[in-house]
Amino acid sequence: MTEPVHPFAPPANELHWIETVTELAKDFAASAAEFDETAELPIANLRALHATGLDRATLPEEFGGEDLSYRTYGEIVRILSAACSSTACIWVMHIGAAVGLAQSSAPDVGRFYAEELIDGKRFANALSEPSSGNMFLMPQQVAEPVDGGYRLTGAKRFVSGCEVADHFLVNALVGGEPTFFGVSPDDTMGFVPIWDTMGLRASRSQLVSFEGTVLREDRRCPPATVQRPNHIAAGLAFLSLGIADAAEQALISHARSRVIPPTGEPLAGMQWLQFEVADVHARLEASLMYARNMAWLADQNSPEFLSATMTAKVLANDIARDVAQVALKAGGGSGFLRTSPIQRLFRDAQAGGLMAYSAEVSKDRIGKTVLLPQD
């Protein structure tokens, strides 16, 4: 008798991608501490992912891709993040910008961006402004009309993988309306090295400056006429869940191997730790199930997807921090050492709640939806 397939599970014909990424992730995990220490881009990891054909698979079939489901995409992000969260972060932004430009541009331009992704070009998401906080979809910087397009002077910050990007997804106000463009780097663009950070150090999410950069009219994305999910919003919850997974595994490994001298028993046998682990483990399972529900909504192109991304992100951000906190508590002085994976995971776990939409902005949106009358 055939086993029933859970509706939130990746489709059977896509399971080979899960297996492929799981194998790659073993090497990514082995080098994660070094990339964290040096804060160098894990470019070899990104190239390895591309070499499998995974980047191409995320594209819609009309652009030569496989229209990879969001259910599979979410599991891939989670696996990557558990191994090396910086690699996962850059890849989420890369795919989000590339597929976004392919889908949102005029048809011939969309095909160009799809071919660039297939050829191994790198993409980056440049939307957040220094003064706009979390309102990355509502830019404040104005692009003025010039021959052939619009001139932008300003900056975008936290642009993961920007230093190796061949194309950027950029937005600006045009005629008072938020407008998206595809932009190729030139000598009017620069990178300001702000990224000496607590966590996600190898993502190198620098500030990108624009000094009279021309946003080409032929690379302008027309106003959206159809609703569709996007890979960045869908990926952020899984980014935090992967960190939570890794923190839980580090906790378990330490608790099983650490022997308490007075009793000769492993730390895992301590009731206080069992209770704390039971709490975070149950919440991690619930958060994962909700994130998988969000990915299923994306695959249905449901209007509930956007609100679900905020709930999924809040749950995932919170549990990642809490699992890492319990892991640090269990690790004690050993977990506090820079040689321990626990301290790195603890630092990485803080990032998710700060990424737009931040946990506070997401909770504000959720709270208003619950409490206030809806039009």
Residues 98 and 86 in one domain: yes
Task: Judge if 271 and 316 occupy the same domain.
Answer: yes
CATH assignment of the domain containing 70: 1.10.540.10
Domain contains 353: yes
pLDDT at 226: 87
Q: Which of the listed residues 192, 221, 250 is the one where a domain comes to its end? A: 221
What single-letter DSSP state applies at residue 152? E
Question: 227 burial class (0-12, 13-18, 19+ CB within 10 angstroms)?
Answer: exposed
pTM across the whole model: 0.96
Q: Do 307 and 343 fall within a single domain? A: yes
Let me know if 100 is exposed, middle or buried by CB neighbors in 10 A (0-12, 13-18, 19+). buried
pLDDT score for 2: 62
What confidence score (pLDDT) does residue 4 get? 75
Same domain for 109 and 138?
no
21-30: b or e for each residue (b if 16 or more CB lie within 10 Å)?
A: beebbeebbe
Query: How would you write the pLDDT of the chain (375 residues) with one tens digit per residue?
Result: 566 789 999 999 999 999 999 999 999 999 999 999 999 999 999 999 999 999 999 999 999 999 999 999 999 999 999 999 999 999 999 999 999 999 999 999 999 999 999 999 999 999 999 887 677 778 999 999 999 999 999 999 999 999 999 999 999 999 999 999 999 999 999 999 999 999 999 999 999 999 999 999 999 999 988 889 999 999 999 999 999 999 999 999 999 999 988 888 999 999 999 999 999 999 999 999 999 999 999 999 999 999 999 999 999 999 999 999 999 999 999 899 988 999 999 999 999 999 988 889 999 999 999 999 876
187-243 residue pLDDT tens: 999 999 999 999 999 999 999 999 999 999 999 999 988 889 999 999 999 999 999
Residue that terminates a domain, selected from 221, 242, 276: 221
**CATH code of residue 217:** 2.40.110.10
pLDDT of residue 159: 97
How many domains does the chain divide into? 3
Query: Same domain, yes or no, for 137 and 159?
Result: yes
Which of 119, 141, 162 is the last residue in one of the domains? 119
Task: Based on the fold, state whether residues 192 and 236 are members of the same structural domain.
Answer: no
pLDDT given for residue 42 in this prediction: 98
If one counts every other C-beta atom within 10 angstroms of the C-beta of residue 137, the result is: 13
Range of the domain at 246: 231-371
User: pLDDT (tens digit, 9 = 90+) per residue, 348-362?
Assistant: 999 999 998 888 999
Same-domain check for residues 76 and 149:
no
Say yes or no: 100 and 57 in one domain: yes
Query: Does residue 195 form part of some domain?
Result: yes
Given this model, what pLDDT does residue 183 score? 98
- Axis crossing angle, helix 359-371 with helix 305-336, rounded to the nearest 10: 140
Per-residue pLDDT at 1:
53
Instruction: Please name which of 296, 306, 307 lies closest in space to residue 366, comparing C-alpha atoms.
Output: 307
